[in-house]
Chain A
Amino acid sequence: MNKFDEVLAFYQNPTTQFQLESFRKRVKDFFENNPAFSDHLSVVHSVKSRLKDVNHLEEKLVRKESEKGKEITTDNLFNEITDLIGVRVLHLYFDQFGIIHNEIMKQIDNGEWTLYEPPKAYTWDPDMSEEFEKLGIKSNRKDSYTSVHYVIKPNPKENVFCCEIQVRTLFEEIWGEIDHSINYPVKTDSIACAEQLKVLSKLASTGTRLADSIFRSHIDHKKTKADN
Chain B
Amino acid sequence: MKIISLFNNKGGVGKSTLGYHLGHALNEIGKKTLMVDLDPQCNLTICGIDTEELHKIWLEEDEFVDDFEKFNANNELLQKPRSIHFLLKPTEDGLSDFDIIPPPVELAQNLHLIPGRLSIHKFENKLAERWSGAYQSDNLAIRTITKIREICNLYSAKYNYDYIIIDTSPSLGILNKTIISTVDGFFIPAQPDMFSLYGIRNIGSSLNLWQREFETIYNLISSDKRTKFPEKFVQFLGYTIYNAKKYSTDKNEYDLAQAHFSYVQKIPEVIKEFIKESNRVHLSKEQIEQPIGGDAVIHSHNTFPSVAQSLNCPMWEVPDKYSNLYKNNRDWLIEREIEPINQGSYGRYRETKEKYIAFAHSLIERLNNL
Contact = CB atoms under 8 A, between A and B. Distances in A.
Chain B associates with chain A: yes
B216 A154 contact: no
A154 B222 CA distance: 6
A30 B218 CA distance: 20
B136 interface: yes
Given A26-B137, A154-B137, A112 B222 contact: yes
Contact of A111 (B135, B136, B212, B223): B223
Contact of A19 (B216, B224, B226): B216
B212 A22 contact: no
B137 A111 contact: no
Given A15-B212, A22-B135, A112-B137, A157 B219 contact: yes
A26 to B, nearest CB: 5
A121 B122 CA distance: 51
B345 to A, nearest CB: 57
A19 B220 contact: yes
Interface in B215-234: 216, 218-224, 226
Given A15-B216, A19-B216, A26-B137, A157 B223 contact: yes
Contact of B136 (A26, A113, A114, A160): A26
A18 interface: yes
B224 A111 contact: yes
Contacts of A112: 137, 222
Interface string A144-188: 000000000011110011000000000000000000000000000
Nearest to B215: A15
Contacts of B220: 19, 22-23, 26, 154
Interface in B188-237: 212, 216, 218-224, 226
Given A25-B136, A26-B136, A112-B137, A19 B222 contact: no
A114 B137 CA distance: 14
Interface string B111-147: 0000000000000000000000001110000000000
Nearest to B218: A157
Contacts, number: 40
Contact of A22 (B136, B218, B223, B226): B136
A112 B223 CA distance: 8
A160 B218 CA distance: 10
B216 A18 contact: yes
Contacts of A111: 222-224
Interface residues of B, number: 13
Given A15-B212, A15-B216, A19-B216, A154 B221 contact: yes
Nearest to B134: A22
A160 B137 CA distance: 15
The residue among A18, A154, A157 with the most chain B CB atoms within 10 A of its own CB is A154
A65 B98 CA distance: 58
A2 B83 CA distance: 60
Contacts of B219: 19, 154-155, 157, 160-161
A189 B335 CA distance: 100
A140 B218 CA distance: 35
Contacts of A26: 136-137, 220
Interface in A2-34: 15, 18-19, 22-23, 25-26
A137 to B, nearest CB: 23
B208 to A, nearest CB: 13
Interface string B137-171: 10000000000000000000000000000000000
Nearest to A156: B223
Nearest to A29: B136
Contacts of A114: 222-223
B358 to A, nearest CB: 42
A98 B222 CA distance: 25
Contacts of A160: 219
Contacts of A155: 219, 221-223, 226
A113 B223 CA distance: 9
Nearest to B132: A22
Contacts of A22: 135-136, 220
Interface in A109-154: 111-114, 154
Nearest to B138: A26
Contact of A113 (B216, B218, B222, B226): B222
A22 B216 CA distance: 10
7 contacts: A19-B219, A22-B135, A26-B220, A114-B223, A155-B219, A155-B221, A157-B218
Interface of A: 15, 18-19, 22-23, 25-26, 111-114, 154-157, 160-161
Those 7 A-B pairs whose CB atoms lie nearest each other, nearest first: A111-B224, A22-B135, A111-B222, A155-B223, A112-B222, A154-B220, A155-B222
Given A19-B135, A156-B223, 6 more contacts: A19-B219, A22-B135, A22-B220, A111-B224, A114-B223, A160-B219
